[in-house]
Amino acid sequence: MSASLFRTVLARHGALAAKRSLAGNSFVRGKATLPDLKYDYGALEPYISARIMELHHSKHHQTYVNGLNSALEATAEAEAKGDFTKAASLAPLLNFHGGGHLNHTLFWENLAPASREGGGEPDGALKKAIEADFGSFETFRKQMNAALTGIQGSGWAWLAKDKDSGNLAIVTRANQDPVTGQLVPLMGIDAWEHAYYLQYENRKAEYFEAIWNVINWKTVAQRFEKA
């Protein structure tokens, strides 16, 4: 993925849109920055521990931000010199670090404390769409957990909306590959070990069950309506 195309993807999914609070802080003068959270690190307990949230956000996400900035800078330098072979060789780094930044930015917005807007089930148009495409919310949840369990190694499972048909689908992506093309990511769950291991160790199925208690359906519904 080229640097210019990746910037387009970031913009389309909100990472460059100043009108959105979290995403609006993720780029400053063309450089990626770590977005602030709307809740404290300990706010998602007992479902996700404060220590996991602190490391996941301040260390892991920051690494993707740093890597994206380095890749963008190196690509710009190569293109300025006319070294397009060098620029093309940096595409995997743009995809990995840029995808990591984009995926995590969406992920943080996905979540909310159970005492506030986290958990429960969606309502309104999103609920109707889930019931139409999956039969019921419970069926959708089970299919999402099955998709997460089926990921070999590291990756993500997403609820996505097809821009043409309007239908919803569950898709998985390896590593930090972003959801692009005709699909708009609405809600994602991180299946990388750094998202759960300190708390759940090898019991990742427990993490996949627990995280539903802190899903922010209000944010997911807003994405659904705008997609």
Q: Residues 48, 214: contact at Cβ < 8 Å?
A: yes
Neighbours of 2 (CB within 10 A): 14
190 annotated as a binding-site residue:
yes
Asked whether the CA dihedral 218, 159, 149, 154 is positive or negative, the reply is negative
104 annotated as a binding-site residue:
yes
Tell me which residue of 184, 204, 210, 203 sits closest to 192, measured CA to CA. 204
Q: What are the distances in angstroms from CA 50 to CA 7, 32, 55? A: 32, 24, 9
Beta-strand relationship, 168-174 and 155-162: antiparallel
Tell me which residue of 104, 105, 100 sits closest to 24, measured CA to CA. 105
Residues sharing a CB contact under 8 Å with residue 58, sequence separation 6 or more, in sequence order? 34
Tell me which residue of 178, 181, 6, 192 sits closest to 90, measured CA to CA. 6
Positions at the binding site for Mn(2+): 56, 104, 190, 194
Binding site listing: 56, 104, 190, 194
